[in-house]
Amino acid sequence: MKAPESDPIVLSTQLVSSLLEEIPLVQNFKGKWVLIRAKLDDLRSQLGDFADFSGSVSNSLSVDLLGSVSAALSDAVSLARRCQSPNLAEGKLRTQSDIDAVLAKLDRVVKDGEILIRSGVLQEGGGGSTGVSSSSRREAVRSESRNLITRLQIGSGESRNSAMDSLLELLQEDDKNVMIAVAQGVVPVLVRLMDSSSAEMKEKTVAAISRVSVVDSSKHVLIAEGLLLLNHLLRVLDSGSAFAREKACVALQALSLSKENARAIGSRGGIESLLEICQAGTPGSQASAADVLRNLASFPEIKENFIEENGVVVLLGLASSGTVLAQEKAIGCLRNLVSDDESLKLSVVKEGGIECLKNFWVSAPSVRSLEVAVDLLRHLASFHPVAEVLCSEGFIARLVGVLNCGVLGVRIAAARAVFELGFCSRTRKEMGECGCIGPLIKMLDGKAVEEREAAAKALSNLVLYLGNRKMFKKDEKGIVSAVQLLDPSIKNLDKKYPVSLLASLSHSKRCRKHMVAAGASAYLQKVVEMEVEGSKKLLESLGRGKIWGVFG
């Protein structure tokens, strides 16, 4: 058994008793000593709790805290004895300042004690990761997480800084470590640290939050922190270091997906800060900022903020000169921005957007990178005056090239762009002559429902031109593939597109025979029940064909 003077719990308990004996004798600042007396009641209760844990005298966190407790109590005892004299040798102001300092110390150790007892680390014995008794790695990480989370909340600034360094190492090792730390309650602690820590600690805290934000299963915990976390991150965008701003942008990617947060970012000057980073930030922060802006541009009520801040010009600048990733994100933002907004489409064209798009198309490192560019093309082409310009700039030939590529998302985006560009007979003819029909017929048999629908939609537009109908008929698989899309068992595919495609071909007796042979009549009876536009008329035309065949 330890001697009383070497047992920190016993020593602190004795000091509490001594102080309780001294306080009734004080002659000065009695009101403040009443407050100190109240703290002693809390402290005595906590010391009893520490004594109940066998690990209290071996756990490093506990030993450090008990050392701080005994130091604060020793100062308080000396001060109480000074206040017992009617004449204060060191003067009233100095004594009052000393009392306030002792009161603050006692308040701090009581709060730290509450956190330490609540954390559960005292039940584990050891004071760090080396003291973990479980052989399970997951249990070891869980124990270390609890330990570090506790250290972030108690002790000196230097101790907390060290704990943050260890936490960052733990989080960087593995996504599972992130999930375990989040389950142990690290996020609320990190958010509180954003409020009161030094610039260095705040930078590390933002890095930890950004690490949590990239693990899908943990994002919801950050989102639950709401406007409090959002405001902290926006302040970092304004005044943080380059490193901190980049990490804040990463975290904001997860937080900018909801309408409420998007409004908050827009109303608090966040778009202006993000656009500034797009212009003058580090390459990494530019890409992350553009990604946040891409999310924000999805909300119509935020678009006005982009217009006010000259966002189109900034984004086109980044799309022309940033890293490949930053270019992709900027183009993605422009795509969301121009959606359903004709004036912004014209603005993109006026500011050199088409030339920017052509340059990106040529310089993209892979076909996969083109998906966002093809999608922007599709949105721009939905406005006919812009579509005219796109056709004259040679984008039809570019689309044919990607319709044949091996990347599903790019093919789907290209098929949707074909539909938008086919707004008149001239462009339909040009797309047919450039070779769009063949790849689209092949896409009708794709594995993804989304691809098959996009192809049917594009073809339903192209075959409105007679020359394209002739090309379609030459491919024997075309009609069979289109008829298969009528099958009601194929879910999430809009039947109006294959119906429209087949209706355009139904004037041909040969095509009607192929449709019937492929089972169109049976499918159409069910499609008619679904009240799909044009299905009843198509079924009737196939029925008339049968009757005329009998009379013939």
pLDDT recorded at residue 85 = 83
Residues in the chain, overall count: 552
Helical segments of 174-323, H only? 175-183, 186-196, 199-213, 219-224, 226-239, 242-255, 259-267, 270-280, 283-296, 303-308, 311-321
The tens digit of pLDDT for each residue in 303-333 reads 999 999 999 999 999 999 999 999 999 999 9
The answer as to whether 277 is a domain residue is: no
Closest CA to 390 of 441, 439, 338: 338
Share of the chain above pLDDT 70, in %: 94
| Beta-carbon contacts of residue 89 (< 8 Å; ≥ 6 apart) | 82
pLDDT recorded at residue 105 = 87
Neighbours of 546 (CB within 10 A): 12
Q: Sorting pLDDT into bands at 50, 70 and 90, what band is 544?
A: low
Decide if pLDDT at 131 tops 70.
no
Tell me the average pLDDT across 217-227.
Answer: 92
pLDDT recorded at residue 38 = 85
Lowest-pLDDT range of 102-111, 428-437, 529-538: 102-111
DSSP-derived secondary structure letter, 367: G
The answer as to whether 25 is a domain residue is: yes
Q: Sorting pLDDT into bands at 50, 70 and 90, what band is 123?
A: low
Q: To which residue do tokens 């500034």 refer? A: 276
Q: Sorting pLDDT into bands at 50, 70 and 90, what band is 5?
A: low
What is the C-alpha to C-alpha distance for residues 172 and 165, in angstroms, rounded to an integer? 11
| Beta-carbon contacts of residue 11 (< 8 Å; ≥ 6 apart) | 4, 5, 70
Decide if pLDDT at 140 tops 90.
no
Angle at the Cα of 22 (from 16 to 24), degrees rounded to 5? 115
- Tokens matching residue 342: 């004709």
The answer as to whether 387 is a domain residue is: no
The tens digit of pLDDT for each residue in 483-535 reads 999 999 999 999 999 999 999 999 999 999 999 999 999 999 999 999 999 99
Decide if pLDDT at 435 tops 70.
yes
What range does the domain containing 35 cover? 8-117
Instruction: Bin 519: left if φ > 0, else alpha if -120 < ψ < 50, else beta.
Output: left
pLDDT recorded at residue 307 = 92
What is the C-alpha to C-alpha distance for residues 469 and 459, in angstroms, rounded to an integer? 9
The per-residue b/e assignment along 37-58, b for 16 or more CB within 10 angstroms, e otherwise, is eebbebbeebbeebeebebbbe
Decide if pLDDT at 57 tops 80.
no
Helix pair angle (395-403, 384-392), 10° resolution: 80
Q: Sorting pLDDT into bands at 50, 70 and 90, what band is 143?
A: confident
Decide if pLDDT at 545 tops 70.
no
pLDDT recorded at residue 124 = 61
pLDDT recorded at residue 37 = 87
Q: What is the 3-state secondary structure (H, E, C) of 211-235?
A: HHHCCHHHHHHHHHCHHHHHHHHHH
The answer as to whether 82 is a domain residue is: yes
The tens digit of pLDDT for each residue in 295-305 reads 999 999 999 99
The answer as to whether 103 is a domain residue is: yes
Decide if pLDDT at 209 tops 90.
yes
pLDDT recorded at residue 431 = 95
DSSP-derived secondary structure letter, 490: S
Q: Sorting pLDDT into bands at 50, 70 and 90, what band is 438?
A: very high
Diameter of the chain measured on Cα atoms: 128
pLDDT recorded at residue 55 = 66
Lowest-pLDDT range of 30-44, 311-325, 374-388: 30-44
Neighbours of 343 (CB within 10 A): 10
pLDDT recorded at residue 129 = 42
DSSP-derived secondary structure letter, 162: H
pLDDT recorded at residue 116 = 80
pLDDT recorded at residue 32 = 86
Decide if pLDDT at 414 tops 50.
yes
Query: Which is it for the CA torsion 311, 313, 318, 319, positive or negative?
Result: positive
Question: What is the rounded radius of gyration, in angstroms, for the C-alpha atoms of the chain?
Answer: 35
The answer as to whether 501 is a domain residue is: no
Query: What one-letter code names the amino acid at 153?
Result: Q
Instruction: Bin 267: left if φ > 0, else alpha if -120 < ψ < 50, else beta.
Output: alpha
The tens digit of pLDDT for each residue in 86-100 reads 888 778 888 889 888
Mean pLDDT of the chain: 89
pLDDT recorded at residue 351 = 95
Q: Sorting pLDDT into bands at 50, 70 and 90, what band is 9?
A: confident
Lowest-pLDDT range of 15-24, 255-264, 390-399: 15-24
Helix pair angle (466-474, 476-484), 10° resolution: 90
Decide if pLDDT at 466 tops 70.
yes
Number of domains in the chain: 1
User: Do the beta carbons of residue 102 and residue 79 sit within 8 Å?
Assistant: yes
The answer as to whether 124 is a domain residue is: no
Decide if pLDDT at 428 tops 60.
yes
Share of the chain above pLDDT 90, in %: 65
User: Do the beta carbons of residue 213 and residue 254 sit within 8 Å?
Assistant: yes
| Beta-carbon contacts of residue 383 (< 8 Å; ≥ 6 apart) | 342, 345, 346
- Tokens matching residue 165: 């360094």
What is the C-alpha to C-alpha distance for residues 180 and 184, in angstroms, rounded to an integer? 6
The per-residue b/e assignment along 509-526, b for 16 or more CB within 10 angstroms, e otherwise, is eebbebbbebebbebbee
The answer as to whether 430 is a domain residue is: no
pLDDT recorded at residue 132 = 44
